[in-house]
Structure 1
């Protein structure tokens, strides 16, 4: 909707406002949830009800009606394949360590997930009104930006997931205090996101993405060197710097891809980006979790299974997960170099 209603020269700033409101939720959630848990953990879920109703009312009154493709029918087969494939792969990556590759559940989920994914791609390329326009991948800039954004999502969610675990298990912090530790990072994320949108046209997506990705690599590597005695101040500073890198990189990368495609396909592109980002991030977290528990078992075996060495084994396992994350993020650097300021409404080939 942003790319259909906002002038081209204002789109980077508009996307930065939208992105920061989305990403900021991951930074503020620990504080809000921790505070609510102090009263009743049920409020964590109930609080979304009035917010959702308010958003529905405001959206129905303010957002412009979309008159494009009103006659388009829902691709029910595509939706079923996407749902079954996504669910199977999420279950697989979330339970790799618990199931093991020799279990029946592992192979069932793998077969259903991969089979549904392949069938989905074939069906979407043949359908007259596809659920997702996969021919968007013919656009080089869009494809590169999507791959980079998926890699950056790994960095974002790995930090949000593993740092609170470390703070809770090793330092004994409550959910509320962990959230407070994330607040400076939330402020840095907000400022960096606005900065990247404001100066997008001046620096271009490649420069901003390279700077942000470099910051993410360094800070993720620093997290892989944590010790049981690492101070809370050091962790808070690393989180703040890390969130700055996220804000500088993620929004320009997304914007570069969206601006490179024809305006009439912006809805398909946005849906494709958000769907793949959510699925990829969830699968990556499942994989990281499996890696963490596998490494925890190894470290406990090496250090000895007793309460005195458990904190060290736990910290080393989190370090291994962050090191793996840093290696993955490094692959985004050469791709970011290929990002250029795209011409508005680029071609995706014959559709």
Structure 2
């Protein structure tokens, strides 16, 4: 169905000039991203100091550094990293990454809490999460109308504050918290995420000249998807670590220990979201740079 829709409605543009494919850049970014994700995902299982974890992590970091250097020197790069010289794109991408971390914090922790602590079925878990998803869907077009009137700053600032408040409240849940409270807090966090998503994407893309818009979009998607996977891996390891810590401290009730571990990870997510608050004020700046001179 997707292929049919693309073929039917997306216009075909023939490039005026042929460009060589950056094979070396493609291979280095794929391998580095894969190694980093694998090392983070399995770090708690293999041991963070094990040769397997450290070797994959080290190779991933080295290849990522090579990719960045190569892309800056290559005449036809896979990703044009010079778009980071657009200040507003840079600020928006950082905020976008923080919002992505906040979104996947809830995506991981809330279902985990509902199914392992409250012992709810996957169906019940989905129904509890449904209001938040509906809020994001309904809010998107409304936020788009407000964006044209008031710009990104007020929307993103409000969204970040809501995310901070919702995450902080989640860091205080107990093993007997009401499912209605969980659904309400998740709805609040989803509203905050919805207030940020579209404005941040628009603010980033509007700051980039049209010739670099494709690269800017690719970099944004790569950063968000990679960070989503990394954050899930890191937070999963943190939950295991903190739960084991509380069990070692004498908390014999596994659901209570798990809840305390989830609270700690939500607090980490809250701190990360707080970091984004002062960064939102940078969205007021609209300066552009001439990359032809860079």
> When the two structures are superposed, what TM-score results if normalisation uses the length of structure 2?
0.96
How much has 1:338 moved relative to structure 2? 0.6
Match of 1:303 among 250, 271, 292: 250
How much has 1:303 moved relative to structure 2? 2.6
Counterpart CA distance in 2 for 1:264 and 1:164 is 42
Hey, what does 1:34 align to over in structure 2? none
Match of 1:324 among 244, 268, 277: 268
Residues 144 and 339 in structure 1, CA contact (< 8 A), matched pair in contact too: yes
Hey, what does 2:60 align to over in structure 1? 113
Counterpart CA distance in 2 for 1:347 and 1:340 is 20
Residues 168 and 174 in structure 1, CA contact (< 8 A), matched pair in contact too: yes
Residues 88 and 285 in structure 2, CA contact (< 8 A), matched pair in contact too: no
Hey, what does 1:335 align to over in structure 2? 279
How much has 1:302 moved relative to structure 2? 1.4
Residues 259 and 342 in structure 1, CA contact (< 8 A), matched pair in contact too: no
Deviation sequence 1:186-231 (CA, Å, 0-9, x none): 1211232222211112121111111000000000111111101100
Hey, what does 1:239 align to over in structure 2? 186
Counterpart CA distance in 1 for 2:17 and 2:98 is 35
Residues 84 and 90 in structure 2, CA contact (< 8 A), matched pair in contact too: yes
Residues 295 and 320 in structure 1, CA contact (< 8 A), matched pair in contact too: yes
Residues 141 and 260 in structure 1, CA contact (< 8 A), matched pair in contact too: yes
SS in 1 for 2:62: helix
Which ranges in structure 2 are unaligned for 5 or more consecutive residues? Answer: none
How much has 1:110 moved relative to structure 2? 1.7
Residues 85 and 289 in structure 2, CA contact (< 8 A), matched pair in contact too: no
Counterpart CA distance in 2 for 1:142 and 1:249 is 14
Hey, what does 2:90 align to over in structure 1? 143
C-alpha change, 1:256 and 1:347, in structure 2 (3 Å) is farther
Hey, what does 1:125 align to over in structure 2? 72
Hey, what does 1:76 align to over in structure 2? 23
Counterpart CA distance in 1 for 2:97 and 2:292 is 24
C-alpha change, 1:341 and 1:124, in structure 2 (3 Å) is same
SS in 2 for 1:68: coil
Counterpart CA distance in 2 for 1:167 and 1:304 is 20
How much has 1:346 moved relative to structure 2? 6.1
Hey, what does 2:293 align to over in structure 1? 350
SS in 2 for 1:72: coil
How much has 1:70 moved relative to structure 2? 5.2
How much has 1:342 moved relative to structure 2? 3.9
SS in 1 for 2:284: coil
Deviation sequence 1:65-108 (CA, Å, 0-9, x none): 12336512211000000001100110121122222232101221
Cα RMSD (Å) of the superposition?
A: 1.5
Counterpart CA distance in 1 for 2:8 and 2:251 is 62
C-alpha change, 1:185 and 1:62, in structure 2 (3 Å) is same
How much has 1:117 moved relative to structure 2? 0.6
Hey, what does 1:312 align to over in structure 2? 256
Deviation sequence 1:255-281 (CA, Å, 0-9, x none): 101000101111111000000111111
SS in 2 for 1:229: coil
C-alpha change, 1:200 and 1:346, in structure 2 (3 Å) is farther
Hey, what does 2:156 align to over in structure 1? 209
Residues 251 and 257 in structure 2, CA contact (< 8 A), matched pair in contact too: no
Match of 2:111 among 148, 164, 176: 164
**1:269 is the counterpart of 2:220:** no
Between the two proteins, the alignment pairs up a number of residues equal to: 294
C-alpha change, 1:300 and 1:241, in structure 2 (3 Å) is same
